[in-house]
Chain A
Amino acid sequence: MSKSKQIDRRGFLGDGLRVLGVAGLCGVGGYLAGRRGSVDESCWQIDPHKCISCSNCQTHCVLDKSAVICKHAFTMCGYCELCTGYFIPEPNGLNTGAENQQCPTGAITRRFIEEPYFEYHIDGRLCIGCAKCVKGCEAFGNGSLYLQIDQHQCKNCNECAIATACPAQAIRRVPASNPYLPKETPLT
Chain B
Amino acid sequence: MILSAEPRRAENKTTLFSMCRWLTVGCAAIVFLAVGCSKQVETGSTSTDPRTAYETIDPSRIGWEQVAQYPIKELDSLQRIAVGPDDRIYVLGIKNRKGTVAVIDRLGKTKTLREIPSTQDDAIDLAIDDVGKIFLLRQKRIDVLSETGSEKQTEWARLPKMGFPTSIIYGGDRVLVADAGNRVIRVFDREAAPLKEFPAKAEKLFVVPSPFFDIAVGRDGLLRIANPGRHRIEHFTTEGFFHETPLTWGRQGNDLEGFCGCCNPARIAVLSDGAVVTSEKKIRRIKVVELDGSLRSAVAGPKHLGVAGPKNRDHTQKGPIVFDIAVDSTDRILVLDPVQKAVRVFGEKKKTSK
Of B2-10, B40-48, B66-74, B170-178, the one touching chain A: B40-48
Establish whether residues B316 and A82, one from each chain, have CB atoms under 8 Å apart when the complex forms: no
A142 touches B210 (CB 8 A): yes
From B210, B252, B263, B313, residue with most partner A Cβ within 10 Å: B210
- Contact (Cβ within 8 A) B211 A187: yes
| Per-position 1/0 for A27-55, Cβ under 8 A of B | 00000000000000000000011001110
Do B211 and A83 have beta carbons less than 8 Å apart? no
CA distance A180 to B207 in the complex (A): 32
Quick check: is B59 within 8 A (CB to CB) of the other chain? no
B244 contacts chain A at the CB level, 8 A cutoff: no
- B284 smallest CB distance to A (angstroms): 12
| Residue contact B46 to A56, C-beta cutoff 8 Å | yes
Which A residues touch B207, using CB under 8 A? Answer: 116-117
Q: Are B211 and A140 in contact, with the CB atoms below 8 A?
A: no
Cα A78 to Cα B210 with chains together (Å): 6
For A125-157 the 0/1 string (1 means CB < 8 A from B) is 000000000011011111100000000000000
Tell yes or no: A169 within 8 A of B by CB.
Answer: yes
Interface string of A42-75 (1 = CB under 8 A from B): 0000001100111010000000000000000000
In the bound complex, how far is the Cα of B53 from the Cα of A79, in angstroms?
25
- Asked whether any CB of chain B lies closer than 8 Å to the CB of A101, the reply is no
Beyond A80-B209, A116-B229, A185-B316, whether A142 also contacts B262 by CB under 8 A is yes
A8 neighbours in B (Cβ, 8 Å): none
CB closest chain-B residue, reference A167: B46
Tally B residues with Cβ within 8 Å of A: 34
- Is the beta-carbon distance between A89 and B50 smaller than 8 angstroms? yes
Cβ–Cβ < 8 Å partners of B318 in chain A: 188
A135-B50 contact given A79-B209, A167-B45, CB 8 Å threshold:
yes
Chain A nearest CB, measured from B262 CB (Å): 4
Cβ of A140 and Cβ of B204 under 8 Å apart?
no
Quick check: is B191 within 8 A (CB to CB) of the other chain? Answer: no
Q: In the assembled complex, how far is the CB of residue B74 from the closest CB belonging to chain A, in whole angstroms?
A: 21
CA distance A53 to B282 in the complex (A): 16
Residues from chain B with Cβ under 8 Å of A168 in the complex: 41, 44
Nearest residue, chain A, Cβ from B282: A140
CB of B314 within 8 Å of the partner chain: yes
The total number of A-B Cβ pairs within 8 Å is 91
**B46 contacts A140, CB within 8 Å?**
no
Interface residues of A, count at CB 8 A: 34
- Contact assessment for A49 and B317 in the assembled complex, using a CB-CB cutoff below 8 Å: yes
B interface majority secondary structure? loop
Identity of the chain B residue whose Cβ is nearest the Cβ of A81 in the assembled complex: B229
Contacts of A115 in B (CB 8 A): 204
Contact A89 B209 (CB under 8 A): no
Across the interface, which residues of A come within 8 angstroms of B344, CB to CB?
none
The answer on a CB contact under 8 Å between A167 and B40 is yes
User: Residues 12-23 of chain A: 1 if any B CB is under 8 Å from the residue's CB, otherwise 0?
Assistant: 000000000000
A residues near B41, Cβ cutoff 8 Å: 52, 167-169
Cα of A183 to Cα of B207 in the assembled complex, Å? 23
Q: A188 contacts B47, CB within 8 Å?
A: no
Nearest chain A residue, comparing its CB with the CB of B258? A90
Q: 0/1 per residue, B197-223, Cβ < 8 Å to A? A: 000000010010111000000000000
Residues in A with CB closer than 8 Å to B260 are 140
- A-B pairs with lowest CB-CB distance, top 10: A78-B209, A140-B261, A188-B319, A80-B262, A54-B47, A141-B262, A52-B47, A167-B46, A139-B50, A54-B46
B residues near A (Cβ < 8 Å) are 40-41, 44-47, 49-51, 53-54, 204, 207, 209-211, 229-230, 252-254, 260-263, 282-283, 310, 313-314, 316-319
Using a CB–CB distance below 8 Å, which chain A residues touch chain B?
Answer: 48-49, 52-54, 56, 77-84, 89-90, 115-117, 135-136, 138-143, 167-169, 183, 185, 187-188
Beyond A117-B207, A140-B254: 7 further Cβ-contacts under 8 Å? A54-B46, A80-B262, A82-B262, A140-B261, A141-B282, A183-B316, A187-B319
